A and B are shown apart, each in its own frame.
Chain A
Amino acid sequence: MSVKKFVVGCFDDEAVLFPAVKKVRKAGYKLHDIYTPFPMHGLDHAMGLRDTSLHTAGFIYAITGTTTALGGISWVFTKDWPLNIGGKPHFALPAWIPITFELTVLFSAVGMVLTFCYLCQLAPFLKKHHFHPRATDDQFVMVIECTEKTNEDEVKSFLAQTGAKEINVQNAETGWWLGRYDKDTMPFQVRKEKTAFE
């Protein structure tokens, strides 16, 4: 991955954030992402993100689970090791339905969690740059990506106009790297340096 330059603006009110998102998109700046302390209804829509296809993935995992269960059980009980259980037929479909259901749910749940983690690049020992530590507390952090043509000061003053409280420019790694938050630099230390510098 690469290191890019970002302009970061912090908002402390979602009522200010939503119009700001609209204005930033209208002005044509490239929104990298918005980090919020809690899931916000309609923010994805305001940012113009497409609907997630996690559901489709979930459906595929689910039918994989269904076929695995039905295929596996029917092979075991009719071909590999037929057993007489209470005089029931070898192909005892009703008895398999609960297990089929469970495997369907298990496959889709585990599959969707893993897919979600992959899409969000979340894993143990995997580090990503934090733009602002208070994005997990009480600040809505809007990150705008800069290109060579972007004038940072212009973006900064634009963000200030839309109501951002705290604005700074960061050079940050866009991808992930291996490391641990407790061993590596901690997010609050980054912030301390920043405030001391400013």
Chain B
Amino acid sequence: MSSFKEQFEIPGRFRNISFALMAVGIVSVIVGFFMYGSHEPARFWATMLHNSVFFLLITNASMFFICATTLAMGSWQLAFRRVPEAISKCVIPLGIIALIVLLCIVLGDQHHIYHWLDKDHVQHDTILKGKAGFLNPTFFIVWTLLSIGLWIALGHKMRQLSRYLDENPLASVAEGRKYVFKSTIWSALFIVWFALTVASVTPWLWLMSIDAHWYSTMYSWYTFASSFVSGMSLIALFVIFLKNRGYLEVVTEEHLHDLGKFMFAFSIFWTYLWFSQYMLIWYANIPEETVYFKPRVQGVYKGIFFLNLIVNFLVPLLLLMRRSAKRNYTSVAILAVLIIFGHWVDFYQMVFVGPFKDHVDLNLFDFGVAAGFVGIIMFSTGRALAKAPLLAKNDPFFKESVIHHT
């Protein structure tokens, strides 16, 4: 074991790039605030909402992945367990940023984004009046605080459980059983909270309430699928990065193959939800429901909407279908970047069509802010990776992961 490179050292270039990206992000936010802040605040806050929510959800998907595989007694994740653990640590900075952005929107009364914030308007709006018990600032803030707070807390507990074994190896089988039981309980708690937040209520509040009159029961699953497939791509990217630098010796093509399978399968799952949501509304053709798709399918967002389908469905479907493509580091890396970009664009059309129905204004400001968030993810993940040994080698399932074979 001693011959393995267990301690990750952040390469200078990696750190510089992350700082440069964060600088680009900060400059973009400042420039954007002066460009749009006073006369078109919705534009500024929509960009902040889009990016902070998207990057928060894709990093949070890492902890979901850990917990889901732990519950399923999936051992294969152990070889690279520290990577999703490190990524999930980004939930702390990104969660705080998202919280600030959401609080600014709600408390700053940005009713161009959430028009249910406008109290006078709600009085004359039967639908919004009916939803007022759910769509009100108090519930929004409490639920947002709870969501982010518990993601951080439960995620911290999961990381702690895994880290504890580094200094305190399991002495006996009985202790091992106890550890497995404990991690099962905590991951179950995380999964339950994840189901109540990402898979149901939180996307309703953060994203669906932009189109407050409209609703879809598919929406949260659709958001979850988007964030999970990009989260898996993010894990794959970091695993490939570490492999390239000569770390993670025990990770083989077999693990990469399974990550590739997740990217492939959940791209199809995303399309399934995308299509189910679209087809039912298209078929019923009820004005209250079609209002959501009118600007997306027939309006100015047409290009983005169908680009989504190509990048997030056709490309992964055709290019990741072959076994050899899922076992090739280059092709998985390229597709991971493409999938993350595709779902970023997907979130863009989820957020922006509501406040800006008539024109698409995707410009450098959006990309600059996105670059800033990428920088934060790089910096924070790199730091978390450097803090802990890269191999969770005292975990009872570790050996099973090393000899993993598909």
Same complex origin of A and B: yes
Given A95-B279, A97-B275, 9 more pairs with CB closer than 8 A? A42-B405, A55-B323, A59-B321, A86-B285, A88-B285, A94-B282, A94-B283, A95-B283, A98-B279
Which residues of chain A have a CB within 8 Å of any CB of chain B? 41-42, 51, 55, 59, 86-88, 94-95, 97-98
The reply on B140 being an interface residue by CB < 8 A is no
Cα distance, A69 to B405, chains bound together (Å): 38
Complex CA gap A59/B318 in Å reads 11
The answer to whether B405 and A41 have CB atoms under 8 Å apart is yes
CB-based contact A97/B405 at 8 Å:
no
State the Cβ distance, A100 to closest chain B Cβ, in Å. Answer: 11
Alpha-carbon gap, A42 to B406, bound state (A): 10
Q: How far is the CB of A186 from chain B (nearest CB, A)?
A: 38
A55 to B326, CA, bound (A): 15
Give B119 Cβ to nearest chain A Cβ, in Å. Answer: 39
Is B143 close to A, CB under 8 A? no
Q: How far is the CB of B324 from chain A (nearest CB, A)?
A: 10
With A and B bound together, what is the CA distance between A55 and B321 in angstroms?
Answer: 10
Q: Can you report 18 A-B residue pairs in the complex whose CB atoms are below 8 A from each other?
A: A41-B405, A42-B405, A51-B323, A55-B323, A59-B321, A86-B285, A87-B285, A88-B285, A94-B275, A94-B278, A94-B279, A94-B282, A94-B283, A95-B279, A95-B283, A97-B275, A97-B279, A98-B279
Assembled-state Cα–Cα distance A42/B279 (Å): 44
- A-contact 0/1 string along B263-292, CB 8 Å cutoff: 000000000000100110011010000000
CA distance A88 to B279 in the complex (A): 13
Which residues of B approach A to under 8 Å, CB–CB?
275, 278-279, 282-283, 285, 321, 323, 405
Identity of the chain A residue whose Cβ is nearest the Cβ of B321 in the assembled complex: A59
A85–chain B nearest beta-carbon distance, Å? 10
The smallest beta-carbon distance between B373 and chain A, in angstroms, is: 34
CB-nearest residue of chain A to B406: A41
Give min CB distance, A87 to chain B, whole Å. 8
Complexed CA–CA distance, A41 and B278 (Å): 42
A87: chain B residues at CB < 8 Å are: 285
A116 CB, nearest partner CB in chain B, Å: 18
B278, B279, B323: most-surrounded residue (chain A CB, <10 A): B279
Cα A6 to Cα B282 in complex, Å, equals 65
B323 contacts across to A, CB distance below 8 A: 51, 55
The docked-state distance in angstroms from the alpha carbon of A87 to that of B321 is 38
Complex contacts, B279 vs chain A, CB 8 Å: 94-95, 97-98
* Minimum CB–CB distance for B371 against chain A, Å: 36
Q: How far is the CA of A55 from the CA of B282 in the complex (A)?
A: 35
> What chain A residues lie within 8 Å of B275 (beta carbons)?
94, 97
Q: Chain B residues near A94 (CB, 8 Å)?
A: 275, 278-279, 282-283
Please give, as numbers and ranges, the residues of chain A lying within 8 Å of B285 by CB-CB distance. Answer: 86-88
Docked pose: A55 CA to B279 CA in angstroms: 30
Q: Which residue of B lies closest to A55 (CB)?
A: B323
Please, how many angstroms separate the alpha-carbon atoms of A87 and B282 in the complex?
12
A86 to B286, CA, bound (A): 12
CB distance from A69 to the nearest CB of B (A): 15
Contact partners of A42 in chain B: CB under 8 A:
405
**Smallest CB–CB gap between A66 and chain B, Å?**
12
Top-4 shortest CB links A-B = A94-B279, A94-B282, A97-B275, A41-B405
What separation, in Å, do the CA atoms of A27 and B391 have in the docked complex?
Answer: 41
* Residue of A with least CB distance to B324: A51
Taking the closest CB of chain A, its distance from the CB of B328, in whole angstroms, is 15
**Cα distance A84–B208 in the bound complex, in angstroms:** 34
Q: How far is the CB of B164 from chain A (nearest CB, A)?
A: 33
Cα(A87)–Cα(B285), bound, Å: 10
Contacts of A41 in B (CB 8 A): 405
Contacts of B321 in A (CB 8 A): 59
CA distance A97 to B271 in the complex (A): 12
> Complex formed: what's the CA distance from A98 to B279 in Å?
10
Q: State the CA gap A95–B281 with chains docked (Å).
A: 11
Residues of A contacting B282 with CB < 8 Å? 94
Q: How far is the CB of A31 from chain B (nearest CB, A)?
A: 22
* B405 cross-chain contacts in A, Cβ below 8 A: 41-42
